[in-house]
Amino acid sequence: MLVRRNATLFIVKKLEEPLAESAPLARRLALALCRRDPVTAESCAWTHGFWQYLRLMGLASGPTHHAEFFRTAFDGVTGDTGAPRVLVCGSADYSMLAHVLWAFRARAIEADVTVIDLCEAPLALSRWYAQRMGCRIRTACCDVLAYVAPHPFDAICTHSFLSYFSPDRRVDLLAKWRQLLRPGGAVITVNALRPGAAADRVGLNSAQARALREDVLARAQTMRSAVQLDPLELARDAEIYAGKLGFWRVQSGEEVRALFERSGFRMDRLICGPAAIASASQSAVTGPTSPVSTDYAHIVATRV
């Protein structure tokens, strides 16, 4: 990959995700910046301050588990009027941004990237990463359904985003994505598939919550030099995370195809199967962001 810093090109051989460095930064940013829910007044620091530690300990899925899919999908994205305009829609951290930069810079292209999220903390972390990589990005702290872009995008990308919308609200999300894309623009995304009742929001059961706490405690004890936090403190964070985590199921590839096609998209690629990179964890945790025993829908859909 080519990285431009101070008008000098550097070759980066692999995607850089400095989790040991960024995890404590994310924790500080979450405490300072995480939004409070307007109804419950609860902060989202429980997830944004903990997520990077889960990834550092190998206990969470993310774009890295689907790196080859994203790289090849971005190979098909071009800008109709210049640099490709890419929207990262929802951002737990900088990982999706990292994959965008990696894919386009492998083609010696500097994409015009915008990152949006409901919370300022992951946006600040994305700006930190962009500065580290010698590029500029735009960020917007807002609900995607209320987001207004000055220009249409060539691609929208995200990871595990559909699960945070109820089935009826996914129609609104797809309508918004279509509005934000130029004709011929693409949605590139991955989402876990979980058969079961779709109507109710679900989370981790008691066994999964216990397994997560035990795994975090064990990993933190063996990775003290990397995590640099008291393992018991991280175990308590895991309890809070497990108690608050919630999502809606995306049931099948057929459901995904029908959703996109009735929303004005052509399904160019729909591959259902496990993550390309297997997790080292043998955890019993199978929440929406765990790679364990989970099939995923890998999606490239073009606006028609």
- In tens, the pLDDT along 25-35 reads 999 999 999 98
| Pick from 94, 113, 87: nearest CA to 29 | 94
Q: For 50-83, write each residue's pLDDT tens digit.
A: 999 999 999 998 999 999 999 999 999 999 888 9
pLDDT higher than threshold 60 for residue 283: no
Instruction: Enumerate residues 6+ apart whose C-beta is below 8 A from 218.
Output: none
CA terminus-to-terminus distance, the chain: 32
Q: What is the pLDDT of residues 188-200, one digit of tens each?
A: 999 999 988 777 7
**Res 293: pLDDT:** 61
Confidence at 1, pLDDT banded by 50, 70, 90: very low
Q: Is the Cβ–Cβ distance between 87 and 114 less than 8 Å?
A: yes
Contact 23, 227 (CB under 8 A): yes
Tokens standing for 228? 């640099």
Let me know: does 118 contact 151? Beta carbons within 8 Å.
no
**Would you say 265 and 174 are in contact if contact means Cβ atoms under 8 Å apart?**
yes
pLDDT over 80 (residue 286): no
**Using 50, 70 and 90 to split pLDDT, how confident is the model at 142?**
very high
Retrieve residue 162's tokens: 């559909």
